Structure 1
Amino acid sequence: MLEFSAKLSYNLLESEASQQTFLIYACMGQDALISDLVRYCISLGLLQGIDVVREARDRVHKLVARLKELSLLSESFSSRCVTMQSLIRDAALLIASQKMPVFALTKEKLEKWQDKDKLGSYSTISLQHSDVTDIINEFYEGIDSFIVRIFHLDNKDPHLRIPEGIFTGMEELRVLTLTDIHLSPLPSSIKCLTKLRILCLERCTLGKKLSYLGELKELRVLNLSGSNIERLPNQLSQLAKLQIFDITNFFKLKEIPPDVLLSLTSLEGLYVGNNPIQWNDAE
């Protein structure tokens, strides 16, 4: 009954932006941050005519309020989040699968890729709090290209290592979110993601070789919060379109090269909380 009600409420949404925001939030998880939703909306171009962070934030909060009015979203444990109930999320993912092919998995262990031949045809692949350790190496094998625009992997196994060539064929990817994953070294195939607009490597184990990040010229949002970096690479100065840069909870970060920040001429939001940063003017 709740799923049927969710579909009716979805049809009452007045604008395409409201509908897309609802579907995107379903792909993000049950209690995702509103700030992350803002970042998605900016990077995916869901807010027509708005690309300034402050204006986008105001617009998204209005969209969230409307979704609450229709009981598609509700209050969460924190004012920074909203909740989407499981049955509503199931309904949203069903609607999303009809409009944009979605592969979503939550809190499960995946022992083999179902319909492996269809993986390349999904626009969104969301694997949240799931275990894909045993089969991650098979993910891209035999697939020449993907149409996926959003790829989200939050693995339950902190020792999961991402294969070197995993991003091969993902040229259309716009959003990449990897959480609690071992990325040392960073796969070189990430440089294939020339259209990427959001890169979130939250609480990931990252090595020193991060120069590939400088080749992601279309990035609008870079979130490295909670990762174990001691020094940011100079190549980040090449990200001229970057609007939001999040390096909160970098407990090992000792230095930000000044030239990096000076080169980020489009930057609107810099988040640096909980960092023992030393500013080095000698760079």
Structure 2
Amino acid sequence: MKHIHNDLLKERIFYRVIWLIVSKEFDVVKLQDDIASALNLKKDLDKVGDKLKRAAFLSEMLKKAGKHILILDDVWDKISLEEVGIPEPTSGNGCKMVLTTRSEQVCKYIDCKVITVKPLSEEESLILFLNKVGPNIVQSPTLMPTLRLVVKECAGLPLTIVVVAGTLKGENEPRIWKNALKELKERIGKVEGAEAEHCFLYCAFYPEDFKIPKNELIEGWIDEGFIDEMDTREEMKDKGHVIMKKLEDNCLLEKCSNHLRWTCVKMHDAVRDMALSITNVNSRCMIQAGKQSKKLLKKDGWMADVEKVSLMRNSISRILKDGSSPQHQLLKTLLLQDNPIEKIPNSFFANMPSLSVLNLSRTKIERLPNSISKLENLTTLLLDGCQALRYLPCLSKLQGLKKLNLCQTKIEKAPEGMDMLINLRYLDLYVVTLKEIPIGLLLKLSRLQHLSFKDMHELNKFASSMQQCKSNLIKYRLQVGPSCWEHERDKFVSINELEFCQELSELIKVERLILSATFSHLKRILIWCCMSMKTLFAHWLLPNLQNLEEIWVEDCDELVEILGTSTLEDHQDAEKGSDAFIKFNLPKLRNLELHALPELKSICSKSGAMVCDSLQVINVSSYDKLKRIPPFVPLIGNGQPYGHAPPSLNITSSTFWWESLEWDDPNFKNVLQPHWHPW
């Protein structure tokens, strides 16, 4: 389906090509959201009321979307197009629809033309298998009879062939080949030992087709203890990346990115089914992720000896009744993140003495139950994004805790007993409402390696009191914004990595904060939902950005220009047509992505010119006021441009926007026209 999607984009037959994965856990609202996002209308859809009104809105928008094709991939059950808001495709409305499914009943229900994808022939299967398994195996005559048997067992299914071939790549033992499908679990383990086996199976704890951020996944592996303890978390993360690379190379995980352009991986549903079957047979796990469940399973619905439970990304709002205390003596992992849970009974955790990993991130809880205090074996407590959470009980007995994430909660003071967490390595206190971090608290956390807090005031306190811990600290995160305090750079302790928040809207005394060469190694910048920002870069900052390769700006409602003049006077001179000329030089810039910027008027000031010789991708969407692409292809004499733009340049936009552009030089449009492609 990926090849079909890419071919349709290249052929430019359709104004829009929308490709969506539906999956087994079909949900009307989610599909509506995905369609709206593809149309860049998600914000508008969010303002609409119930499902019926949302469907009517989408139907109208799709009818106005011009000639388009909608690809619904991996459909498991019947879908009412009317309920979702998809107009019935006709020759008159310009809409085409393609769906992939394993069910002939789905095709009959939607009344579409059925094209049966037949399994590969034995010869085709063998060719595909040999291409994937590698030349060393192909050249081994002793393995060929066994290899043919394995290929035959794959039943002509391309995905199975690719997975099995990748798993057996480099394996020379015939007996292992004969039992390849039955012993696939052991073969997964041989990718990188037992570590990789556990890491692979853990991916099935996420919902089907979910794009898992790589960093989040590796952190999860560390939290679960799948990666052997090392001197630093950074070394453990490096090991995690090695394991992930092995799983990707063996076709067990697929690289992708989510809507925030975070690097992610996902499991094909067939690979996930395989992982689930292995998990069900060989471990005490209960996985009900992304099932749209509204209630926690009854306490007698859990296996008595269950060790790991994943109920993430459901619709659970309440956990059992007050006074409930489920008996799960062996439970080690409980994943409840991304549920609208509002209340947890006080005694809920009283009989979970083995609990090691608890994830309640992005729930609606206001307080943690007192029974948390008794979880002496707890090593990981994740409360990231619990924006209603104000109260935590005493943590003094949780001395085994290694990771505590309180990011974006509503706590006003550090939890009681936090100074007793002597084994803590990871602490996220990025909390807007936190009034103060007690003096000396961080000094007691002598094993800390990752620290995140909000403002410069805490940094100054930290810098003056952390001499005993600074050798351990690997990373901290710092908010720079309205609460920023002046500081002297030489007071910083030794830091390996500095991360600025994505919600940045302003810099105070920016000339003093951004010093020479501060961003000299920056390669990629993502600006998202900065609602007060008007200019992304002033021209005097560009000398520090000579290694910048990608600019991605999205959902910044007030942004007027990307590359601007330095001061208000400069801006006024430019508007009046001053003779001052500015070169906006970004020699390594390759990608420029501009989306949902309703006030954007220019990419760079009219008083200057862009010098971007490496530019390869320009992608713009949802613009009314942007009427000009500044020249970035150098001119030769008499206003004639060079013969062509860089061969790899690709410009993507709507036809309407492209045709409405105003050009400083008409020859420039002729140079770019061969490189422009409509959505």
Please give the TM-score of this superposition, normalised by the length of structure 1: 0.84
Contact 1:145 1:168 survives alignment (8 Å): no
Check 1:229–1:111 CA distance in 2 against 1; reply closer, same or farther (3 A cut): closer
Correspondence for 1:242: 424
The more displaced of 81-90 and 121-130 is 81-90
Give the SS at the match of 2:195: helix
**1:262 and 2:437 aligned:** no
5+ long unaligned stretches in structure 1: none
Residue 69 (str. 1) matches residue 249 (str. 2): yes
Partner of 1:93: 276
**1:185 is aligned with what amino acid?**
R
Residue 187 in structure 1 maps to residue 378 in structure 2: no
Q: Using a 3 Å threshold, how does the CA distance of structure 1 residues 268 and 192 change in structure 2: closer, same or farther?
A: same
Residue 271 of structure 1: SS of its match in structure 2? strand
Q: For residues 123-167 of structure 1, what are the alpha-carbon distances to aligned partners after superposition, in whole Å with 9 as ceiling and x for unaligned?
A: 111112112335x2159947433311110002442x621111111
- 2:297 equivalent to 1:113: yes
Counterpart contact for 2:423–2:447, Cα < 8 Å: yes
Q: What's the secondary structure of 2:320's corresponding residue?
A: helix
Deviation at 1:101, TM superposition (A): 1.6
Measured after TM superposition, the shift of residue 21 of structure 1 is 0.9
Give the whole-Å Cα distance in 2 for the aligned partners of 1:184 and 1:270.
24
Q: What's the CA shift string for 1:209-228, capped at 9, x where partnerless?
A: 42422321101111122212
Which position in structure 1 is the counterpart of 2:379?
197
Q: For 1:120, what is the secondary structure of its paired residue?
A: coil
| TM-score, structure 2 as length reference | 0.37
Question: Which of the residues 226, 235, 239 maps onto 1:46?
Answer: 226
Q: Residues of 1 paired with 2:432 and 2:234: CA distance?
A: 28
CA contact (8 A) 1:102 1:125 kept: yes
1:127-142 matches, cutoff 5 A: 127-133=311-317, 136-137=319-320, 141=324
- What is the DSSP-based 3-state SS (H/G/I as helix, E as strand, rest coil) of the residue aligned with 2:337? strand
Q: Is contact 2:330–2:354 with CA below 8 Å preserved after alignment?
A: yes
Give yes or no for contact 1:171–1:194 (8 Å, CA) kept in 2.
yes
2: CA distance between counterparts of 1:172 and 1:232?
26
Change (3 A) 1:88 1:160: farther
Q: In the alignment, which residue of structure 1 is the partner of 2:266?
A: 83
In the superposition, relative to structure 1, how do residues 55 and 155 fare at CA in structure 2: closer, same or farther (>3 Å)? closer
- Is this contact kept in 2: 1:119–1:146, CA < 8 A? no
- Separation in structure 2 between the aligned mates of residue 55 and residue 47 of structure 1, nearest angstrom: 10
User: Are the counterparts in 2 of residues 120 and 145 from structure 1 also a CA contact under 8 Å?
Assistant: yes
* Superposed displacement of residue 64, structure 1: 0.3
1:212 aligns with 2:416: no
Aligned partner of 2:590 in structure 1 is none
Q: Deviations over 1:198-257 (max 9, x none)?
A: 1101211222x4242232110111112221223223521111101111233x23233222
2:415 aligned to 212, 222, 233, which one?
A: 233
Separation in 2, partners of 1:93, 1:244: 31
Q: Which runs of 5+ in 2 are unaligned?
A: 1-156, 168-180, 462-679
Please give the per-residue CA displacement for 1:68-89, whole angstroms capped at 9, x wherever unaligned. 0111112221454322233322
User: Per-residue displacement from partner, 1:55-103 (whole Å, max 9, x unpaired)?
Assistant: 1011100000001011111222145432223332232222122222211
Residue 259 of structure 1 deviates from its aligned partner by: 1.8
Partner amino acid for 1:251?
A: V
Quickly say closer, same or farther: Cα 1:185–1:70, change in 2 above 3 A: same
After superposition, the Cα gap between the structure-2 partners of 1:33 and 1:196, relative to the gap in structure 1 and judged at 3 Å, is farther
Q: Which among 235, 253, 275 is matched to residue 434 of structure 2?
A: 253
1:167 corresponds to which residue?
349
Deviations along 1:31-65, one digit per CA (max 9) or x if unpaired, are 33333333333343323353521210111000000
Q: Output the aligned Cα RMSD.
A: 3.0
1:20 to 177, 195, 198: 198
Give distance in 2, aligned partners of 1:232 and 1:112.
31
Q: Distance in 2 between matches of 1:196 and 1:96?
A: 23
Distance 2:436 2:357 in 1: 27
Report sequence identity in percent. Answer: 25
**Contact residue 254 and residue 266 of structure 2 kept, 8 A:** yes
- Partner of 2:311, secondary structure, is strand
Pick aligned residue for 2:309 from 125, 130, 149: 125
How many residues of Structure 1 are paired with residues of Structure 2 in the alignment?
Answer: 276
Q: Supply the distance in 2 between the matched residues of 1:266 and 1:165 (Cα, whole angstroms).
A: 31
Return the letter of the residue paired with 2:451: L
Alpha-carbon separation, structure 2, partners of 1:122 and 1:3: 30
Asked whether the 8 Å contact 1:161–1:181 carries over to 2, the reply is no
CA gap of 1:165–1:240, structure 2 versus 1, over 3 A, is same
Residues 129 and 155 of structure 1 are in contact (CA less than 8 Å); yes or no, is this contact kept in structure 2?
A: yes
Conserved in 1, the CA contact under 8 Å of 2:324 and 2:345? no
Work out the CA distance in 2 between the residues paired with 1:36 and 1:133. Answer: 24
**Aligned partner of 1:103 among 263, 279, 286:** 286
Cα separation, partners in 2 of 1:269 and 1:67, compared to 1, 3 Å: same
Output the amino acid matched with 2:352.
M
- 8 Å CA contact 1:42–1:51 kept in 2: the answer is no
Higher relative contact order (CA 8 A, sep 6+): 1
Show the counterpart of 1:57.
Answer: 237
